[in-house]
A and B are shown apart, each in its own frame.
Chain A
Amino acid sequence: MRTHNEKPVKLPFETPPNYFEEFENRLEKRLKGEYEPKGIHKNLPFGLPESYFELLPQKIMQKIQNLRRAWAWYETPFGIWTIRLGVATMIIFAIVLIFPKTDNSTAVAELKKNLQTINKKELELYLFANYQNHLEAELFDKDIQLPEMHQYQPDSLQIRKKDLEEVLPDEHIEEILQQELENSEVL
């Protein structure tokens, strides 16, 4: 095995001039983070409108004054109520957006379909039973006892002479009344 002492090894690499002389200096700069890009200067290519920095403080102060005025208004009772009203409107709007009106057209169509399947006779019986229920409820409400039932006529069946006069000629009414009188005498 050969050693460096026996024959120096010639590497095919080269370093820039003064590389090792400047190495320590470069390392120190790097540790401090002070290196700069080579061949460039610190000029910026940007320009400004005339008197920009003289006018900028005024613009900023104006903006701040406007904000202050706005806050002063918000702190008045009118301002506070306007904010409350605004918030309430936004909440209502949000609710309307989040919970839109439900579409019930399919439910209606289904109900119609179900009604078509019900027998007409069954429907009449159901309505009649319902009418009886209403009749009983009316009797109960008016506190009418069962023995009096034959004397009672539901409101909808009470016939007044005035009503009859509107639909029948006078002679017919007289005729009916005469018959009624005769019947009662026979009884």
Chain B
Amino acid sequence: MEDKELLEKFKKAESQNYAFNLLVRKYQQKIYWHIRKMVIDHDDADDLTQETFVKVWQNLHHFQGNSQLYTWIYRIATNECLNFLRKKKQRFFLPIADVSKELLRKLETDAYVSGDEVAIKLQKALLKLPEKQRLVFNMKYFDDLSYEEISEILGTSVGALKASYHHAVKKIEDEMKMSV
């Protein structure tokens, strides 16, 4: 079902639950994986995905349709991730490097991490990037979003995103070479 049709059904009280259920089924995987790549741990990703869709439910009647629905949902999910990581820093008075260390530890101990060595190495290299650079890389490289779409989600110019992605690729290549 197209997003426009979903939104129309959501506006009607009798089909609201049905429409929202369809919306969750349509976007849950993209949103979950977007969050999971940022927080690494499955339980944290599960909580944040649920929280993201609760917020979508609470605010969907405010959605004006100025942007695409999925970029709007991505934006909510991204904010949830950044808030989660910020709270982690504040709660334990940790600098950014220590949050990365904790995420690295999770990468090694989480029950739901497979044994693909190259993929783990890439994730380890990604965890050494600043949060925003990691976000840009994930959305461009793994989610195949265009710079225009990422720009809509993060509210950053396309030029800045290109530079950020380029820096991220260079750092990852260097990191991967060093770990070989």
Binding site for B on A (CB under 8 A): 30, 33, 35-49, 52-53, 56-57, 59-61, 63-64, 67
Closest A residue by C-beta to B170: A37
Known: A33-B162, A53-B28, A57-B28. A64 touches B54 (CB 8 A): yes
Interface string of B120-135 (1 = CB under 8 A from A): 1011000000000000
Q: CB of B4 within 8 A of chain A? A: no
Min distance, Cβ B167 to any Cβ of chain A, angstroms: 12
Tell me which residues across on chain B come within 8 A of A57, comparing CB atoms. 21, 24-25, 28
Known: A35-B166, A44-B142, A45-B113. A60 touches B176 (CB 8 A): no
Q: CB of B119 within 8 A of chain A? A: yes
Closest 10 CB pairs of A and B: A45-B119, A47-B112, A33-B162, A43-B119, A57-B24, A60-B53, A45-B120, A45-B116, A37-B172, A45-B114
Tell me which residues across on chain B come within 8 A of A35, comparing CB atoms. 166, 169
Known: A47-B112, A61-B20, A67-B54. A39 touches B29 (CB 8 A): no
Min distance, Cβ B156 to any Cβ of chain A, angstroms: 13
Tell me which residues across on chain B come within 8 A of A59, comparing CB atoms. 50
Stretch among B31-39, B66-74, B75-83, B87-95 lining the A interface: B31-39
Q: CB of B10 within 8 A of chain A? A: no
A40 touches which one: B36, B107, B122 (CB < 8 A)? B122
Ordered by A's residue number, 25 sampled pairs between the chains whose C-beta atoms are within 8 Å are A33-B161, A33-B166, A35-B169, A36-B141, A37-B122, A37-B173, A38-B173, A41-B119, A42-B141, A43-B118, A44-B33, A45-B115, A46-B40, A46-B42, A46-B113, A46-B114, A47-B112, A49-B42, A53-B32, A59-B50, A60-B53, A60-B54, A61-B24, A64-B54, A67-B58
Give Cα distance in the complex from A60 to B60, angstroms.
Answer: 15
Closest A residue by C-beta to B115: A45
Min distance, Cβ B155 to any Cβ of chain A, angstroms: 18
